[in-house]
Chain A
Amino acid sequence: MIGELEQYREVAPKGTIDFLYRLSELVQGKRFLQINAVRYGGGMAEILRRLVPAMKALGVESRWEVIAGTQEFSDVTRRIADGLQGRPEIITDEQYQTYLNVTARNAKALDLDADLVFVHDPEPAALIDHRKGGKWVWRCHLDAGRPHRSIWSLFRRHVLKYDAAVFSLSGFAQRLPIPKFLLYPSIDPLTEKHRELSRAEIGDVLDRFNIARGMPMLLQVARFDRFKDQIGTIRAYRMAKKYHRCQLVLAGSGVLHDPVGESVLAEVQEAAENDPDIHILQLPPEADREINALQRAATVVMQKALKEGFGVAVSEAMWKGKPVIGGTAGGVSAQIVDGATGFIVHSVEGAAFRIRYLLSNPGVMTRMGAMGKEHVRRNFLITRHLGDYLTMLKLLCPE
């Protein structure tokens, strides 16, 4: 088990692993329970899959429970999630009762006994009604800064029963009479999505997608969604292309069984106008190695979303030593240090100007890439996240 943590010694900042061992001594014997809705898929599940064993390795009794639901339950919780993010949604009394009934069934089936219970996102949030003791924290990964009123007033009654809530950015939080904390998401550098790749492995992926080797490559990794503004990125690329030979790769998912995603993809394809240097890639959610290779092959990474969650793809790219040009939405500007690890831009023209600047100054790109990697090493790796959890465990459960 100790090996789980020791392997991070090579990638974490110096002193971090020893510090985590010492920090864990303050919470020996404490029981930490994580509850969410999925075992696989999504950044949160990815991180929990590594955090839970790492905490065990540190002597903390750490468990992870996943709730079970029905199609109706999934439909209600999707509406709640959308409503929390501001989309107008309505939930009928019958649907709300389904949410409560499925939650009650899960409460009977799961072992909810722990010193600290972290409940992730809306799906399992009503489990608080069945708490058996310990401190309960609602971990909200969504941007709940401007929720739809009817959904929030329905959901808030559950949140109020928690001892604290945790958000990814201050601006994602709602006014609440319970303590609110800020925890940034993180990336795990040892997973398939972030491990070192050989040049041959990267080359194979480029060849598979017919992406030219040796031509400067701009990359945006984001699902096909209007808020991700792939069309704005194409416009910026075109402005820069007048001065620099370069290609643009737009890689994303979110199209399968999603009519909105399909229509956005069609709009993006139309905007690309059959430009042979624009590559639009639809990737399945499990395409971690492909994304890793594309990020490592990129010259500049773009994250020019109009609305964004935390946008951990910024840290993913910086970890691979790439300068990132991003907008001000969500957590993008919390990750980019403007002028040091990349640039924060406010318009298509701003993005185009920064692309031109970086392509004209390879030395700057190298320096920014190196700074970005160190910035992520100290702020956005799973080892920092682990320290945050241990600290919360100690501060919320001191005895």
Chain B
Amino acid sequence: MADHGTTFRFIGCSEIQEILGKQAEDERALAELLEEVPLDSVYFHTHSYFLRQRFIERTYPNDFAEWVGEQVRDHVLAERLSVVDPFGFPSLDSLREEIISIIDDHLSGMVSVPRVGFGTPFYFNRSRILEVPTGLEARTLREFRDTISTVDVSAIYYHVFEAHLRLQREENDFSAWIRSALRLSDLADQIRALNPYLGSLERLRSSLLAMCDDHLVKSGHR
């Protein structure tokens, strides 16, 4: 994180998954249980989904869509849940409401409730996230870029995904620091506009590197 000066301190994170012991075998139960599970569980199945899919990009970008699509084989609802962008919601409560509303609306047009046939039930879990200071710092864009290329990918998750909820604002830690400490508003805008929900963490790393490299080349630092 940025301190009061110009140093960016990279913080990584480690996640432990807690089993809540609630499971859904059909789409109605999914909505009903989603109503009662803690918000941590909504976070787990949407935001921290990306911490667990660090490399491979799955067909669907959250656990709910993944289960409905892959296990229940209800591709219509899976697609509708896929376009829910967690980044577009100010709170987990509003994100939960949106997901429940989509499922309810979908079920209102169905004759019977789609359920898992040959697959596995949906198991509700939640995250326990531990912040881990990496000891890595950056004072310039060059140092920032070099650290991004080698840091544990959980630091990218922490500063982009966690920042969204922790700081309750659209700006992630990287773009905020580049804007305020380096005063590179164009680059900050580019990084701020990255939608992290459309790819893996490694792809996000590549995008960040490409943007930094592009800026360094244009500014004659390469």
Contacts and interface: CB of A to CB of B under 8 A. Distances in A.
A182 B120 contact: no
A388 B14 CA distance: 8
A251 interface: no
Interface size class of chain B, counting residues whose CB lies under 8 Å from the partner chain: 20 to 34
B70 A181 contact: no
A23 B18 contact: no
A390 B151 contact: no
Given A170-B123, A170-B125, A371-B56, A391 B16 contact: yes
Given A22-B135, A374-B55, A388-B16, A15 B120 contact: no
Interface in B39-86: 52, 54-56, 58-59, 70
Interface string A58-87: 000000000000000000000000000000
A26 B134 contact: no
A88 interface: no
Nearest to A179: B18
B186 interface: no
Contact of A182 (B18, B119, B133): B18
Interface string B128-142: 101011110000000
A19 B58 contact: no
A291 interface: no
Contacts of B150: 14-15
A390 B56 contact: no
Contact of B19 (A16, A167, A395): A167
A339 B66 CA distance: 14
Contact of A390 (B14, B54, B154): B14
B17 A171 contact: no
B14 A341 contact: no
Contacts of A388: 14, 16
Contacts of A175: 21
A307 to B, nearest CB: 13
B56 A395 contact: no
Contacts of A167: 19
Contacts of A181: 16-19
Given A180-B21, A337-B56, A13 B132 contact: no
A18 B153 CA distance: 12
A328 B133 contact: no
Interface residues of A, number: 41
Interface in A164-187: 167, 170-171, 173, 175-176, 179-183
A26 B120 contact: no
A180 B20 CA distance: 7
Contacts, number: 95
A341 B53 CA distance: 13
Nearest to A184: B17
Interface in A259-291: none
Contacts of B146: none
B19 A170 contact: yes
A26 B132 contact: yes
A391 B14 contact: yes
B17 A378 contact: no
Interface string B150-189: 1111110000000000000000000000000000000000
A100 to B, nearest CB: 28
Contacts of B18: 179-182
A19 B132 contact: yes
Interface string A358-399: 000000000000010011011100000001101110110000
B124 to A, nearest CB: 8
B55 A19 contact: no
A337 B56 CA distance: 8
A167 B123 CA distance: 13
A45 interface: no
Nearest to A388: B16
B133 A171 contact: no
A249 to B, nearest CB: 28
Given A18-B152, A26-B132, A341 B16 contact: no
| Among A14, A338, A341, A371: residue with most chain B CB under 10 A | A14
B12 A22 contact: yes
Contact of B120 (A23, A333, A391): A333
A167 B16 CA distance: 12
Interface of A: 13-16, 18-19, 22-23, 26, 167, 170-171, 173, 175-176, 179-183, 328, 333, 337-341, 346, 371, 374-375, 377-379, 387-388, 390-392, 394-395
20 contacts: A13-B152, A19-B134, A19-B154, A22-B132, A23-B130, A23-B132, A170-B123, A170-B125, A171-B121, A179-B18, A180-B21, A182-B18, A183-B16, A183-B17, A328-B118, A375-B55, A378-B55, A388-B16, A391-B16, A391-B130
> Closest 9 interchain pairs by CB?
A15-B152, A170-B123, A19-B152, A180-B19, A182-B17, A391-B14, A378-B54, A170-B19, A15-B151
Given A340-B58, A341-B56, 14 more contacts: A15-B155, A19-B152, A23-B130, A26-B132, A170-B123, A176-B21, A180-B21, A181-B17, A182-B125, A328-B118, A333-B119, A388-B16, A391-B14, A392-B16
